[in-house]
């Protein structure tokens, strides 16, 4: 399975978030999955890539050419995809993913996962199977986003049923159980 991970280019201040990021990377490798991520060396991106690589995962980095000037690609990358800009990077993330994972991050993380969610809505409207999106809600980081989704639904702007594959988890164990269920449902489809 190809797991596209959106996360911060900064490590943040939470040691728990950093530890769970490492655990997720290790889980991806131990399960024989492929990590698709932003390609950089810094922050949570660097942690998830290094951990996945060390655990045996194939690691695919997708990085815009302009970013390579100030952030060298991670040495953990097995397949580096250098693209013209951010729109192509996001297209590559969506194209390559079987599942989207959103770790804590800043505006870039939020923007990239928002586009993936909007694309999922269009796919749902076209009656196509879309890809699950899983938010790691570490220490309630994404509670405000959950509340926003609820407010959108209450206001008639967000049909929660159209996001059956939108999930919030707190741990790698919970994520692993969700992926087992997803794999079983995909096999039965």
**C-beta neighbour count of 94 within 10 angstroms:** 19
127 φ/ψ sector (left φ>0, alpha ψ -120 to 50, else beta): left
Mean pLDDT of the chain: 90
Segment 133-151 shows an average pLDDT of 94
The model's pLDDT over 11-54, given as tens digits with 9 standing for 90+, comes to 999 999 999 999 999 999 999 999 999 999 999 999 999 999 99
For the cut 80, the answer to whether the pLDDT of residue 121 exceeds it is no
pLDDT at 142: 97
User: Residue ranges of the domains in the chain?
Assistant: 6-183
Comparing 2 with 131, the larger pLDDT belongs to 2
Cβ pair 116, 100 in contact under 8 A: yes
CATH number for the 6-183 domain, one of 3.40.640.10, 3.40.50.450, 3.90.1150.10, 3.30.1330.10?
A: 3.40.50.450
Looking at the DSSP bridge assignments, the partners of residue 41 are none
pLDDT at 71: 84
Comparing 23 with 133, the larger pLDDT belongs to 23
Cβ pair 39, 157 in contact under 8 A: no
């Amino acid at each position: 399975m190809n797991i596209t991970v959106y996360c911060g280019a900064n490590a943040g201040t939470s040691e728990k978030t950093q530890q769970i990021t490492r655990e997720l990377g290790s889980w991806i490798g131990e399960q024989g999955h492929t990590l698709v991520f932003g390609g950089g060396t810094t922050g949570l991106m660097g942690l998830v890539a290094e951990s996945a690589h060390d655990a045996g995962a194939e690691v695919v980095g997708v990085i815009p050419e302009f970013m390579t000037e100030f952030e060298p690609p991670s040495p953990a990358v097995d397949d580096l995809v250098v693209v013209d800009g951010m729109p192509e990077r996001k297209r590559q993330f969506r194209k390559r993913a079987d599942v989207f994972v959103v770790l804590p991050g800043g505006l870039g993380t939020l923007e990239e996962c928002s586009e993936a969610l909007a694309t999922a809505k269009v796919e749902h409207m076209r009656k196509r199977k879309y890809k699950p999106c899983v938010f790691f809600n570490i220490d309630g980081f994404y509670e405000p986003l959950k509340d926003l989704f609820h407010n959108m639904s209450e206001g008639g702007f967000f049909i929660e049923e159209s996001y059956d594959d939108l999930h919030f988890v707190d741990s790698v164990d919970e994520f692993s159980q969700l992926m087992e269920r997803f794999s079983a449902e995909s096999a039965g489809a």
